[in-house]
Amino acid sequence: MSSGIGQRLQAQDLTGQWTGTATDSKSESKQKLVLSITEGDSSIGGVLHWYSPESQYIRHIVISGRFYGRDSILTIREDSSINNAVEGGDPFRNSTAKAGPAPGFYILFYRRSAGRRDILEGHWGFTNPETGRSGKLEIRLEKKAPPFIPILLPPHPKKDSSQSRQLQDRETRVAATIPARGTDTIRVALYDNGEIDGDSVSLFINGQLLVQHVKLTAEAKVLMIPIDKSLPVNRLVLFAENLGKLPPNTALMEVTIHGKTYNLFLSTDYRKNASIEFNLQE
């Protein structure tokens, strides 16, 4: 490979959304993938979303890795995975690609197609320490925007509702405190976390109802949330409207501020809410 080509690959910006599939060669079953890369120079960070249309199960995995631009190789390892699997709900439970407790490891090769599309191809390999069995899934991803569903906020937050009263009756636990100085709006994306079972939520900002009846699915519901700069801390509260078919109500919330993404795995029920505090102070 010439040095000119190597320099161009090393300068390749991998940040953004990559969508595609993972195929089990033995069973020919497929899962849908969305790879969200938030740090994409030589060091990689982000979240990998696995979704099985057959079982309606979704898994979100925090990942990290490296991009070797000269050789156009991307290596990824799983840092953590929040799994709410039930019998029959996990697409890997009866598959030869079942990972068990072992983290997965990915080797993907970057290329640009003749149509100038950015492609990542490779495999997910694992070894189950309990059985000693190993396997892999073939992966193909293309860089493009995933099917985000925007949510339009009302011009004025509601000041009172039955949910506002219920909000006070439930314990609210702080899931994260995030610096937010110097911003007017915060981008929030919501997914279901586990089996797609009809979870529905409301969001409150600083005690006021912002939006309600948000159904959590495998596709991100995206909101741009305004910040009140007169307050030193803005509080966003996730309120469970129901528990779906499989309690509790679980969600992955991706919060993006100043180009940095925070991945939060939240659990709520009829006794507790989850809140995120945005700190506007130094």
Chain centre to alpha carbon of residue 250: 12
132 or 231: which leads in pLDDT: 231
Q: What is the chain's mean pLDDT, rounded? A: 78
* pLDDT tier, 208 (very low <50, low <70, confident <90, very high otherwise): confident
pLDDT at 154: 64
Domains and CATH numbers, the chain: 3-143 (2.40.128.120), 149-279 (2.60.60)
What is d(CA 156, CA 208) in angstroms, rounded to the nearest whole number?
A: 10
8 or 218: which leads in pLDDT: 218
pTM: 0.69
What is d(CA 11, CA 70) in angstroms, rounded to the nearest whole number?
A: 10
Above pLDDT 90, what percent of the chain?
23
Phi, psi angles (nearest 5°) of residue 118: -85, 125
The secondary structure element, H or E, covering residue 166 is helix 162-169
**Least-confidence region, from 43-57, 140-154, 258-272:** 140-154
What is d(CA 240, CA 223) in angstroms, rounded to the nearest whole number?
A: 17
Q: Is pLDDT of 105 > 90?
A: no
151 or 185: which leads in pLDDT: 185
Q: Are 249 and 242 in contact (CB under 8 A)?
A: yes
* pLDDT tier, 241 (very low <50, low <70, confident <90, very high otherwise): very high
The mean pLDDT value for 247-254 works out to 87
Dump strand ranges (E) for the chain.
16-23, 30-40, 43-52, 57-68, 73-82, 105-112, 118-127, 134-143, 149-150, 171-179, 185-192, 194-195, 200-205, 208-215, 221-226, 233-240, 249-257, 260-268, 272-279
**Least-confidence region, from 126-130, 223-227, 256-260, 273-277:** 126-130
pLDDT at 173: 92
pLDDT at 274: 94
Give tens-digit pLDDT for 3-41. Answer: 333 333 344 678 888 888 888 766 667 888 888 887 666
How many Cα neighbours within 13 Å face the side chain of 117? Answer: 15
146 or 232: which leads in pLDDT: 232
The SS3 assignment for 239 reads strand
